[in-house]
Amino acid sequence: CGLFYMLFFPFCIWNVDAWLGRRLVHIWVWVMYLGQCTKDVIRWPRPASPPVVKLEVFYNSEYSMPSTHAMSGTAIPLALLLLSHGRWQYPLMFGLILAFCWCSLVCCSRIYMGMHSILDVIAGFLYAVLILVVFHPVVDLIDNFNLTYKYAPLIVISLHLALGIFSFTLDTWSTSRGDTAQILGSGAGVACGSHVSYMLGLNLDPPPSMLPLSLSSLTVTVFGKAMLRLLIGVVILLLTKIAMKKATIPLACKIFRIPHDDVRKARQRMEVELPYRYITYGMVGFSLMFIIPCLFQFIGLS
């Protein structure tokens, strides 16, 4: 799941449409945050094994209701369809089929993997649709605020940090706490990177007069440059993640006087996990939107 996000959002932002990519990130952050918090409030356990055969155990410490995989697997393709249709020229039926297949595959896979019941998945699907109904009409306002308001970075960083602290108080440690901080950090980093790019006049979105956009003919050169951007960019994102992780965990342990001989145990403390995840993925999001696009312009890959 993390690998998918590490490839999908960068590909969309660097190679397709940054306007579209930013909005997808905004919706993804809110869908995943609300889903993770709802899990920790309802506290339904995973399906019992036996009789269920579990093919995945990494997320076993999390609660089950609703399925956040089903939520993201519903919200992202539906948001992609809603945001891109009319902005890009393509057959509506193609978008509908893609959204249906994407959503169906993700939802069915969670049942097949033994991680969710049918009820978890249906609830996740409906919850994602409800959140999308609420947030889709205001996503343009959110993005415009992030880009243009002078104090937007300070407000976004503070808001996401407060939401992270709140979510950490809902329950004892589980993988969902780290995922929540990771998602909020990524969203804050993307918002701050977008703001800096906009203020410096970099990577401006196409003016309304150019809409709708058409898919350029795919040539070897276009495909090669897209893959090169993705390869170079993702490597930099991974190096950023590794470097920030190496720096933030020992620093947080030192500041809060927590022994870091056992890093795994130290990371289960809120004082370590929240700043580590938030700062690390905040820098990943900032690099995604500002540092790496600047590098592409410098080396002639933009």
Q: Which amino acid is at 102?
A: W
pTM for the complete prediction? 0.87
Q: How many CB atoms lie within 10 A of CB 107?
A: 23
Q: Which amino acid is at 84?
A: S
Q: Residue 194: what pLDDT?
A: 94
Q: How far apart are CA 64 and CA 105, in angstroms?
A: 18
Longest dimension (CA), the chain: 59
Q: Evaluate if residue 28 carries a pLDDT over 60.
A: yes
Cβ neighbours of residue 177 closer than 8 Å, sequence gap 6 or more? 167, 168, 171, 270, 273
Active-site amino acid positions? 69, 116
Q: How far apart are CA 194 and CA 199, in angstroms?
A: 9
Strand ranges in the chain using DSSP code E only, listed in sequence order: none
Q: Which two tokens stand for residue 63?
A: 């609660």
211-249 pLDDT, tens digit per residue, is: 787 777 678 888 889 999 999 999 999 999 999 988 888
Q: Which two tokens stand for residue 282?
A: 């905040």
**Cα of 165 vs its chain's centroid, Å:** 18
Closest to 182 in 3D by CA, of 55, 45, 28:
28
Judged on CB neighbours under 10 Å (0-12, 13-18, 19+), 270 is middle
Average pLDDT, the chain: 84
Q: Residue 285: what pLDDT?
A: 94
Answer with the residue of higher pLDDT: 70 or 49: 70
Q: 229 in the Ramachandran plot: left (φ > 0), alpha (ψ -120 to 50) or beta? A: alpha
Kindly state the helix (H) or strand (E) to which residue 184 belongs, with its residue range.
helix 175-199
173-194 pLDDT, tens digit per residue, is: 566 677 888 899 999 999 999 9
Q: Residue 124: what pLDDT?
A: 86
Phi then psi for 300, rounded to 5 degrees? 80, 30
Classify residue 209 by its DSSP letter. Answer: G
Cα atoms found within 13 Å of the Cα of residue 117, Cβ hemisphere only: 14
Closest to 46 in 3D by CA, of 63, 66, 70, 71:
63
